[in-house]
Amino acid sequence: MKTKKVLIVDDNSLNRKVFEHIIGQLYQFGTASDGSEALEKIKTGEYDLVLMDIQMPTLDGINTLNIIKNEKISNIPVIAVSAYANDSDREYFISTGFDDFIAKPIKPRNLLETLDRHLRKSEQPTKTEEYIKTPDSELDPKVVNTLLKFNNADNIRSVYEEFVQESINLLSEIQILIASENFSEIGEKLHIIKGNSGTLGAMDIFYFCQKFEKNIKSSNFENTTEEYLYLTDLIQSFSSKIKSSQLLNP
């Protein structure tokens, strides 16, 4: 993984040093002291992920992200870093377009696990059409085995069960939005399911949500009901999968 390169963006030199010492264990890295410098470095195409501090002079993290998105400078993951740590702040940063959020003070293990998750995700095909289903696409055993390194099977199974229950709740909300023809708000629900399914290795769900979300963002609502029903089937199938998985039920 040393071939991967992370851009550390923070106006505080001490903070940059902390990140360098942690990240340098596994990845190459570069640094920038503000948003303007970060933009120039991102344009080189050398980086695979950006750690973006929020509060910076000249050009803060949110405005820097807006420029990256609006000018289509790069599609690499951008992770927000801030001292704000409550759930509402995290949700806000995700809603503005960041791929994830890490709170200060930094916990090294959490930082490295977050980087690993997003760098591995970025290696997967970005277009739904390129995805080919395999026997492991419903539940990726590599992801499960990685999670099992940090906890026992009962606890990890409960994480998957929570994912299924949350997805079912979100599907209920999507059903209401479809019935009221409030299609534009469906994307937010799909984004949550997509992010969680990618993290947990539920790849059939992840890639279908990617396609479904793209259609919503493009105002392509012609097949929304059919897509909702198909996603419901995928999640029901995944629920059965985790109940029968030998990895989660040794």
What's the CA gap between 38 and 76, in Å, rounded?
13
Residue 54 above 80 pLDDT? yes
What's the CA gap between 162 and 93, in Å, rounded?
23
Find, among 205, 181, 179, 182, the residue nearest to 192 by Cα.
Answer: 205
Host H or E run for residue 81: strand 78-82
Structure tokens at 187: 């994307």
Segment 214-243, tens digit of pLDDT: 889 888 888 899 999 999 999 999 999 888
Average pLDDT value for residue range 10-21: 91
Q: Does the structural domain 128-244 have CATH classification 3.90.550.10? A: no
Segment 138-186, tens digit of pLDDT: 898 888 888 888 788 888 889 999 999 999 999 999 999 999 999 989 9
5-122, what's its fold? Rossmann fold (3.40.50)
Residue 126 above 60 pLDDT? no
How would you write 23-64 as a 3-class SS string?
A: HCCCCEEEEECCHHHHHHHHCCCCCCEEEEECCCCCCCHHHH
Using DSSP bridges, classify how beta strands 100-103 and 78-82 pair: parallel, antiparallel or unpaired: parallel
- Residue spans of alpha helices (H) in 123-223: 141-148, 153-179, 186-200, 203-217
Question: Domain-by-domain residue ranges, the chain?
Answer: 5-122, 128-244
Is there a shared CATH topology between the 5-122 domain and the 128-244 domain? no
In the β-sheet with 5-9, what is the strand arrangement from edge to edge?
A: 28-32, 5-9, 49-53, 78-82, 100-103
pLDDT of residue 133: 62
Segment 58-108, tens digit of pLDDT: 899 999 999 999 998 999 999 999 886 666 777 888 888 999 999 888 888
Confidence category of residue 122, pLDDT binned at 50, 70, 90: low
What's the CA gap between 232 and 239, in Å, rounded?
11
Evaluated on CA atoms 116, 212, 86, 57, the torsion sign reads positive
